[in-house]
Amino acid sequence: MPRPPRAKSPATSSPAAKARRGAAPPPSDAAAPLKPRKAKRRMPPGKGATKLSGRLSADEVDAFFAALSEANPEPKGELNYVNAYTLLVAVVLSAQATDAGVNRATKDLFATVDTPQKMVALGLAGLIKHVRTIGLFNTKAKNVIALSEMLIAKHGGAVPHDRAALEELPGVGRKTANVVLNIAFGEPTMAVDTHVFRISNRTGLAQGKTPLAVEEKLMKAIPAKWALHAHHWLILHGRYMCLARKPNCPACVVREICKFPAKTTVF
């Protein structure tokens, strides 16, 4: 004779019992207390901050570059190269690396390899032996071999004087194309690296959230007479004077023009 079903015990269906069995307790009418949000950490002024008190006027921009020009009339890039091709290779290798480190790696390389044909003949393994001290050397070496092959196949081994053609090459973006167009072909381009981006925002030259936005604003703001050397002046100024963490404001030639509100008084 079948047994009658057992009645549920009130204790086994209680919230506490369900919780012990892994079941979620029924929702409570009282809302759980919200955890207080942690305040966002802000970069202190002078440590890479880009807080501004204003933008430079057209006259101030002119005076800004006049001061940089007086201090360094003929600024030069710090990458060593032999010709347009080795310049292109050096700039590709310099991404996320120091110019000094690239120069050490390319000293012996460029002494014998100064054309795309010679680079392809050297091969990937041979190139890596020269550039293995540079960060991301495997990827960069592959790009150098690939761009050398493309230069031979599509441009007769010459570096093209054309932005679109340059940016089509492996490992070449807008910044690299700007450097090559400026140095190799004398075009007044603006290569926005981390130094140019920081200085442009910090000083009030050109405010922007992306390198392209800063580049476009700089190209509009900088008078034509300063345009050819402008990106060299800004890169060198950021590298040696307007440092990210502690700018050397006391020695800065544009300190009276700069809009950065947290200028240092000692260095």
Q: Which amino acid is at 166?
A: L
The confidence score (pLDDT) of residue 74 equals: 94
Residue 81 confidence (pLDDT): 97
pTM (predicted TM-score): 0.78
Residue 67's contacts (CB-CB under 8 Å, 6 or more residues apart) are: 253, 254, 257
Name the CATH architecture for the domain at 58-75+189-251.
Orthogonal Bundle (1.10)
Q: Tell me: pLDDT of 230 over 80.
A: yes
Q: List the domain boundaries for the chain.
A: 58-75+189-251, 84-185
Q: What are 77-87's pLDDT values in tens digits?
A: 999 999 999 99
Would you name the residues annotated as active-site residues? 175, 193
What fold, for 84-185? Endonuclease III; domain 1 (1.10.340)
Q: Which token pair is 197?
A: 């981006």
Q: Which of 267, 197, 183, 190 is nearest to 239 (CA)?
A: 197
Name the band, by pLDDT with cuts 50, 70 and 90, for residue 53: low
**Residue, of 22 and 161, whose pLDDT is higher:** 161
How far is 177 from 213, CA to CA, in rounded Å? 17
User: Which H, E and C letters describe 37-81, residue by residue?
Assistant: CCCCCCCCCCCCCCCCCCCCCHHHHHHHHHHHHHHCCCCCCCCCC
Query: Of 3-12, 23-32, 95-104, which gets the smallest average pLDDT?
Result: 23-32
Report which of 242, 209, 206, 208 is spatially closest to residue 222, judged by C-alpha positions.
206
Work out the average pLDDT over 254-264: 93
